[in-house]
Structure 1
Amino acid sequence: MSEQSTLLLKRQLKELSKNPVEGFSAGLVDDDNIFEWEIVIMGPQDTLYEGGFFRAIMTFPPDYPLMPPKLKFTTEMYHPNVYPNGEVCISILHPPGEDKYGYEQASERWSPVHTVETILVSVISMLSSPNDESPANIEAAKELRENYPSFKKKVQRLARRSADEF
């Protein structure tokens, strides 16, 4: 499987290099490792994250695309769907099949049809519309609901800092 995964990832990287997608850039952390990509997501316009440049690492398993990659922000991120350690928690990055907690439909979870592009478009969408129903960062979700001005100030400060560090 690993050889097929390598070929697929090389093809996706080549496609993104030839036809960049607005809102993010992607490349290899190390040219000798196709399974680890460095991602930069530009904070989406008209969101609290606007103007920010958020770095992340996307790590692909050897059995990709049967199993999803992991995406972890290396830039500090404050968002209900991002764990405090930076790991992104969205349905399409959850293993395929039924959710043992019954929260997600199997159709919402990972499917081999997803690509780096569809994953990152989903992450950009997540930044635009946080889901505070099933948070990875409980503190961020609570602050978003109960003290929006404070949440907004914190996120905008992080976006400015990320732009300064970029």
Structure 2
Amino acid sequence: MAEHQSALLLRKQLTELNKNPVEGFSAGLIDDNDIYKWEVLIIGPPDTLYEGGFFKAHLFFPKDYPLKPPKMKFITDIWHPNIEKNGDVCISILHDPGDDKYGYEKASERWLPVHTVETIMISVISMLADPNDESPANVDAAKDFRENYKIFKRKVASCVRKSQEEV
């Protein structure tokens, strides 16, 4: 029953995004027969180092969505403190609900069932604009961001160029 409910909810969200697109990203299914696997295209936010880039990512929803968050993975190379080198996104709202066992995040910052694909994408776009180098998923990117911003900018610019060629 929960699987049926999550599929209905995801179809509703996809229909809504197609009817009323949100600036900054587009979303669709990787495979029309699997509502649990989405592909999103994020347009690099204006006035950021990522501006002009086209970054493809996948969202994998669990069958018990919205009780549990999806996983998100960038397919396009991207250099960012909060995105692991393999593309996995590390952002508070995609962490399982409840208290953080390390005490770093408040429960209110973590996954809540009220989140939608739209709120996830807005958070990820915001993360691109404002990296959190205090809790990095990519320590090397965080180190560049903090200690050698010129190199950080160069690596991001390279990712933006590469993303434009891949579109």
Same fold (TM over 0.5): yes
Match of 1:95 in 2: 96
Counterpart in the other structure of 1:73: 74
* 1:20 corresponds to 2:31: no
Once the two structures are superposed, the pairs formed by residues 47-62 of structure 1 within 5 Å of their partners are: 47-62=48-63
Overall identity of the aligned pairs, in %: 67
3-state SS of paired residue (1:37) = strand
Aligned to 1:126: 127
Q: Which runs of 4+ in 1 moved over 6 A?
A: none
What TM-score, normalized to structure 1?
0.99
Q: Structure 1 CA distance, aligned partners of 2:159 and 2:144?
A: 15
How many equivalent residue pairs?
166
Cα distance in structure 2, aligned partners of 1:55 and 1:33: 18
Q: What residue identity is the alignment partner of 1:82?
A: I
Secondary structure at the residue paired with 2:23? coil
Matched, 1:164 2:165: yes
Structural RMSD (CA): 0.4
Q: How is 1:140-155 mapped onto 2 (pairs within 5 angstroms)?
A: 140-155=141-156
Provide the C-alpha distance between the structure 2 equivalents of 1:115 and 1:38, rounded to a whole number of angstroms.
Answer: 15
Distance in 1 of aligned mates of 2:45 and 2:136: 20
- 1:76 corresponds to which letter in structure 2? D
Between the aligned partners of 2:86 and 2:159, the Cα distance in structure 1 is: 15
State the TM-score, normalizing by the size of structure 2.
0.99
SS in 2 for 1:89: coil
1:159 Cα deviation (Å)? Answer: 0.5
For residues 2-47 of structure 1, what are the alpha-carbon distances to aligned partners after superposition, in whole Å with 9 as ceiling and x for unaligned? 0000000000000000000000000000000000000000000010
Give 1:164 shift. Answer: 1.3
Which residues of structure 2 form unaligned runs of 5+? none
Q: Which amino acid aligns with 1:94?
A: H
